[in-house]
Amino acid sequence: MPGTSQRMKQCGRAFVVPSLLLALLAGGCSSGGIGTPGTEASHGYGGSSSIADFFTGSSAKAPQTVAGAQPDVNCPPVEVRRGASTLTIGPTGEKAAMTLKYQGSFARLARDCGVVDGNMVMKIGVEGRVVVGPAGGPGQVNVPLRIAVVQETPGGMKAIVTKFFVVPVALGPNDGNAVFTHIEEGLSFPLPTPTSLLDDYIAYVGFDPVSAEAQSKQAPKPKAKSRPKPTPAASAN
């Protein structure tokens, strides 16, 4: 089973976006750092000050006291899933550099835990950035995200609870990038027995365009409106 220190190293690598193009585009963004974005999309949790307080006051991995639980109950850490740290929207291949529309990456994660009626209840915050590529422009970008709590053991990985959601991000005519923020509340699962098994639990966050595509295919198509039948002309007799 991977230890905490090993998982932290893996997560550190997951935060590094492998695409050089993203770094080049970020250098030409209208705003400097992740903390001073030109456009911000916030969803799922209070106002902007509350969101900022949550990210600054809640660590993604540090040991955390769990409200309503015994001292031996630990809050699972949250990390970016390897292989799901970058979102690319647009054609891929050798000429993808100039045909890229948008690219997304993660910036910060945070979590908070409590125990209610024998269930672990997690609040997980995700902050990231969408950068406009050479072929992109103003409009709305739907960012597909998935959070999954899993149990990692020597025998493999077991899914405990998973949730997929889409965060809409608006990009204005003068925006080269936009920050998106989402805080998911009420992600709950039963406490394992013994509670020491929580040491094997970890919450992963990642982009999930595959689920987004499958969801769009399953969406019902609007029915074509039928034309009203012409009313027969009244007889002159």
pLDDT, residue 14, reads: 32
Rg (CA), the chain: 22
DSSP alpha helices (H): ranges in the chain?
Answer: 4-14, 20-27, 48-57, 96-99, 209-218
Query: Which backbone phi and psi does 127 adopt, to 5 degrees?
Result: -130, 135
- Using CA atoms, how far apart are residues 229 and 65, in angstroms rounded to an integer? 69
pLDDT, residue 124, reads: 96
Can you say whether the dihedral through the CA atoms of 13, 14, 18, 19 is positive or negative? Answer: negative
Query: Which backbone phi and psi does 73 adopt, to 5 degrees?
Result: -90, 120
pLDDT, residue 31, reads: 30
| Cis check: omega of the bond before 194, within 30 degrees of 0 | yes
pLDDT, residue 114, reads: 93
Per-residue pLDDT of the chain (237 residues; tens, 9 = 90+): 444 434 433 333 333 333 333 333 333 333 323 333 344 454 444 455 678 888 888 889 998 889 888 888 999 999 999 999 999 998 755 556 788 999 999 999 999 999 999 999 999 999 999 999 999 999 999 999 999 999 998 889 999 999 999 999 999 999 999 999 999 998 999 999 999 999 999 999 999 999 988 887 876 666 666 666 666 665 555
Q: Determine contact, residues 182/126, Cβ cutoff 8 Å.
A: yes
How do 156-171 and 102-116 pair as beta strands?
A: unpaired
